[in-house]
């Protein structure tokens, strides 16, 4: 049965094209103005679906000149059960900081608008750039080769 709802801290599995699994954690379960997106970090990439619900640092990937540990994408595959939720670990204070991002010159903490910022401050924040599912797979492959 697919679970229609997802929450911050949820641990879920993304099946990768090469047969491995990415163990991921929801950072922002966006509901309001950004309800067509959510953000997550990748805790590990492994060969099987066994998950120990222990907190760990997120893997990092490069996108252009920037490094990031958070991916924004559509929640469609979470909602339909393709990406299976297997548990929940509360976000650490460090991971809660990853809920702050900029989009079109405005800074948000999750769904909450904070303030507009000048372009020279954009690089101080995670940028919301919503990745399609193929780009998510590319980021996962890059993370697994950086280990």
Question: Other C-beta atoms within 10 Å of 137: how many?
Answer: 17
The token pair that represents 99 in the structure block: 């809920």
Residue 86 to residue 53: CA distance in whole angstroms: 9
Tell me the per-residue pLDDT of 22-63, one tens digit each, with 9 for 90 and over: 999 999 999 998 999 999 999 999 999 888 888 889 999 887
- 42-67 burial, b if ≥16 CB within 10 A, otherwise e? bbbbeeeeebeeeeeebbebeeeeee
Which DSSP symbol is given to 58? Answer: P
| Model confidence at 2: pLDDT above 50 | no
pTM: 0.93
Phi-psi region of 112 (alpha: psi -120 to 50; beta: other; left: phi over 0): beta
Residue 62 to residue 146: CA distance in whole angstroms: 10
Tell me the per-residue pLDDT of 71-106, one tens digit each, with 9 for 90 and over: 999 999 999 999 999 999 999 999 999 999 999 999
């Amino acid at each position: 049965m697919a679970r229609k709802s997802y929450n911050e801290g949820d641990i879920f599995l993304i099946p990768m094209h090469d047969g491995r699994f990415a163990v991921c954690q929801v950072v922002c379960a966006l509901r309001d103005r950004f309800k067509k997106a959510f953000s997550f970090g990748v805790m590990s990439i492994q060969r099987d679906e066994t998950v120990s619900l222990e907190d760990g640092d997120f893997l990092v990937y490069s996108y252009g000149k920037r490094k990031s540990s958070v991916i924004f994408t559509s929640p469609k595959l979470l909602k339909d059960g393709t990406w299976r939720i297997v548990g929940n670990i509360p976000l650490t204070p460090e991971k809660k900081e990853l809920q702050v991002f900029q989009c079109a010159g405005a800074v948000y903490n999750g769904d909450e608008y904070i303030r507009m910022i000048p372009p020279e401050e954009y690089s101080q924040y995670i940028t919301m750039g919503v990745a399609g599912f193929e780009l998510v797979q590319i980021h996962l492959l890059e993370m697994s080769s950086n280990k």
